[in-house]
């Protein structure tokens, strides 16, 4: 019987190997060599281990073998009603993930569609027709952990199972009532801590806990993209929110107005800060926690994503003795990180640097940082007036929001200070119009501004699973890439692995639009020409648009065409 089973497995492998060759993933010589060196056993595994083929190639071949569809579980958000089609113990036993459900039918992602025993067992257990889809083993393992609980999620599930409403009230009560301490091993404490720990391990920048009509949704923002996680039970909504509000020193009795606070905690040996925002909504209070990892912040200019030519230009600009340098872009485009990197680069013992921020996100050694406090009357403008009497060389203003702040910043630039700040505009030349709209006189903008830089963030391709890819005709047309460009470049794409949580991307960097103000540009600003005219002048001086800088990084194999198109939708040029 054992000999018959070995023969069947060998026949399956032979058919799969033929498919791999037919699909161009391997050639006959590579297969023959692997057959000899592996002793005829586990030839496919041997090819993968020796990087002749990729795990994704095997998935494609298996799908072709059975005429099944390939699914990318990492990019899917599977609803709870679909997940409930297969209980946790069955999903883990047969290593399957439900991806679609209709009456009498369940589509499941499985690594080996030839495993008829598993499919027959599922048909019997679920009393439904099983429609197999194919996913890689790593993709399925990650999805099992995400939806049904791996080692960390089992901690959350265990804490949820231990909780009763009486225990919740007993856990929250002492802190709320008399300032006593709570049991650090209590189930609610463990549950809330695990939410934070999981977010940190997944490199999330934000944690979103959102009360909906029938669920308490948990989402993490990872590399700028929201990903839904397994949600805590709706019945624990009030208790989790109360616990987080207590940790952030917010009033748990106030449910009508927004509140902001901070939580400082340790994840392993790392100390992290969480900036907490609490907002009343129709179905309860929504909590968003911004994770600020002080030790993980990279402050070098190369890490921002500058190519060597742009970095050289930018280094020259931030070394100037006076003037204003403005970084523009929407919320979440990395402007603050860029400003911190500038300060880090020019921070020397012979320079006095003062910042005015709301809030102070990261503590930088050797720099004087001022936190705006509107509640006591310490506004940007008031803080600026005071710090100029401190005789700084460099001033960083978190954001120019009004005429008073803008006027003081420009006066500082005109009296020998180097000023860094941010504005919310879509492109670099648009910052001029924005300043004039605020109320700054055009001649002041012209004489004080040294550089305007717009930026966006795009996701990096994961280095562990990146491989060559072909751009579609639509992508090439949209980005203006020609066949000639591709003769000297090989676009890349991540196939998904454990390192990137099967997304194909890990980390983010910037694409930039740098407008250096020269005498001709100053003249145009003084004459109050439209932004479009300024943009033409900037292009004449060699300014690359956001999309053009993105295209350079696509051709260099650093990011994907899809990312650049998504981030530069408004860039017409």
Cis peptide before 313 (omega within 30 of 0): no
- pLDDT by residue, tens only, the chain of 573 residues: 444 444 444 455 676 777 777 777 778 888 888 788 776 667 877 787 777 887 778 888 777 777 788 888 887 888 877 888 888 778 888 889 998 888 888 899 998 887 888 888 888 888 888 888 888 888 888 888 878 765 444 556 666 656 554 444 444 443 333 333 344 457 888 888 889 988 988 889 899 999 999 899 999 998 888 888 888 888 889 889 999 999 999 998 888 999 999 898 888 777 788 999 999 999 999 999 998 766 555 567 778 889 888 999 999 999 999 999 999 998 888 898 898 888 888 988 899 999 998 877 777 788 999 988 877 888 888 888 888 889 999 999 988 988 988 999 999 999 999 999 999 898 999 999 999 999 999 999 999 999 999 999 999 999 988 999 999 999 999 999 999 999 888 899 998 887 887 788 998 999 999 999 999 999 999 999 999 999 999 999 989 999 999 999 999 999 999 999 988 876 644
Decide if 332 contacts 305 (C-beta within 8 A): no
The confidence score (pLDDT) of residue 17 equals: 79
394 forms beta bridges with 353, 418
The confidence score (pLDDT) of residue 295 equals: 53
- What is the token pair recorded at 537? 């002048």
170 forms beta bridges with none
Decide if 36 contacts 108 (C-beta within 8 A): no
Decide if 406 contacts 438 (C-beta within 8 A): yes
Beta strand 466-468 with 323-328 is unpaired
Q: What is the 3-state secondary structure (H, E, C) of 139-183?
A: HHHHHHHHHHHCHHHHHHHHHHHHCCHHHHHHHHHHHHHHCCCCC
> How many whole angstroms separate alpha carbon 278 and alpha carbon 241?
9
Decide if 478 contacts 452 (C-beta within 8 A): no
Q: Where are the beta strands (DSSP E) in 163-240?
A: 204-211, 216-222, 225-228
- Alpha-carbon dihedral sign for residues 555, 556, 558, 564: negative
Q: pTM higher than 0.85 for the full model?
A: no
The confidence score (pLDDT) of residue 248 equals: 92
> How many whole angstroms separate alpha carbon 198 and alpha carbon 192?
10
Decide if 131 contacts 107 (C-beta within 8 A): yes
Decide if 294 contacts 496 (C-beta within 8 A): no
> How many whole angstroms separate alpha carbon 425 and alpha carbon 313?
22
Decide if 67 contacts 133 (C-beta within 8 A): no
- What is the token pair recorded at 367? 């720099």
336 φψ region: left (φ > 0), alpha (ψ -120 to 50), beta (else):
alpha
> How many whole angstroms separate alpha carbon 124 and alpha carbon 137?
24
> How many whole angstroms separate alpha carbon 3 and alpha carbon 123?
29
Beta strand 96-102 with 105-110 is antiparallel
The confidence score (pLDDT) of residue 8 equals: 40
Decide if 107 contacts 134 (C-beta within 8 A): no
Three-class DSSP category at 289 = strand
> How many whole angstroms separate alpha carbon 478 and alpha carbon 493?
18
């Amino acid at each position: 019987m054992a000999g018959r089973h070995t023969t069947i497995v060998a026949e399956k492998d032979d058919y799969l190997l033929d498919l791999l060759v037919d699909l161009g993933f391997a050639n006959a010589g590579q297969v023959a060599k692997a057959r000899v060196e592996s002793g005829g056993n586990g030839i496919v595994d041997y090819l993968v281990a020796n990087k002749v083929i990729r795990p994704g190639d095997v998935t494609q071949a298996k799908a072709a073998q059975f005429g099944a569809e390939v699914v990318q579980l990492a990019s899917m958000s599977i609803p709870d009603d679909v997940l409930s089609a297969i209980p946790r113990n069955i999903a883990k036993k047969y290593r399957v993930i439900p991806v679609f459900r209709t009456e009498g039918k369940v589509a499941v992602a499985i690594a080996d569609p030839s495993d008829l025993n598993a499919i027959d067992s599922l048909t019997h257990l679920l009393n439904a027709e099983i429609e197999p889809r194919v996913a890689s083993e790593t993709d399925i393992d990650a999805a099992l952990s995400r939806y049904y609980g791996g080692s960390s999620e089992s901690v959350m599930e265990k804490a949820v199972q231990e909780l009763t409403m009486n225990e919740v009230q007993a856990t929250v009560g002492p802190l709320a009532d008399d300032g006593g301490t709570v049991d650090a091993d209590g189930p609610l404490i463990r549950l809330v801590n695990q939410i934070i720990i999981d977010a940190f391990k997944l490199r999330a920048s934000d944690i979103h806990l959102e009360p909906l009509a029938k669920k308490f949704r948990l989402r993490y923002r990872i590399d700028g993209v929201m990903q839904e996680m397994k949600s805590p039970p709706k019945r624990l909504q009030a208790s989790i929110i109360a616990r987080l509000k207590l940790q952030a020193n917010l009033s748990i009795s106030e449910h009508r107005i927004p509140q902001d606070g901070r939580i400082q905690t340790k994840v392993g040996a790392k100390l992290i800060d969480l900036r907490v925002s609490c907002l009343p909504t129709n179905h309860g209070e929504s909590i968003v926690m911004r994770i600020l990892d002080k030790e993980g912040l990279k402050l070098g200019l190369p890490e921002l994503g500058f190519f060597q030519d742009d970095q050289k230009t930018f280094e020259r600009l931030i070394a100037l003795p006076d003037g204003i340098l403005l970084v523009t872009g929407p919320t979440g485009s990395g402007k603050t990180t860029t400003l911190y990197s500038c300060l880090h680069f020019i921070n020397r013992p012979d320079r006095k640097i003062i910042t005015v921020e709301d809030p102070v996100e990261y503590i930088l050694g050797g720099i004087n940082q001022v936190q705006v406090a509107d509640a006591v009357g310490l506004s940007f403008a008031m803080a600026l007036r005071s710090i100029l009497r401190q005789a700084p060389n460099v001033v960083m203003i978190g954001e120019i929001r009004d005429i008073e702040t803008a006027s003081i910043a420009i006066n500082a630039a005109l009296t020998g200070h180097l000023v860094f700040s941010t504005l919310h505009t879509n492109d670099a030349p648009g910052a001029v119009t924005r300043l004039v709209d605020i109320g700054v006189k055009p001649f002041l903008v012209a004489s004080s501004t040294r550089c305007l830089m717009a930026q966006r963030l795009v996701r990096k391709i994961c280095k562990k699973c990146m491989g060559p890819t072909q751009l579609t005709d639509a992508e090439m047309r949209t980005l203006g890439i020609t066949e000639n460009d591709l003769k000297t470049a090989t676009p890349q794409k991540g196939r998904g692995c454990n390192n990137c949580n099967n997304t194909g991307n890990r980390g983010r960097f910037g694409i930039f639009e740098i407008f250096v103000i020269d005498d001709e540009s100053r003249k145009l600003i003084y004459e109050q020409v439209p932004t479009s005219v300024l943009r033409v002048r900037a292009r004449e001086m060699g300014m690359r648009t956001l999309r053009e800088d993105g295209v350079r990084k696509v051709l260099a194999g650093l990011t994907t065409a899809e990312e650049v198109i998504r981030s530069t939708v408004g860039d017409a040029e």
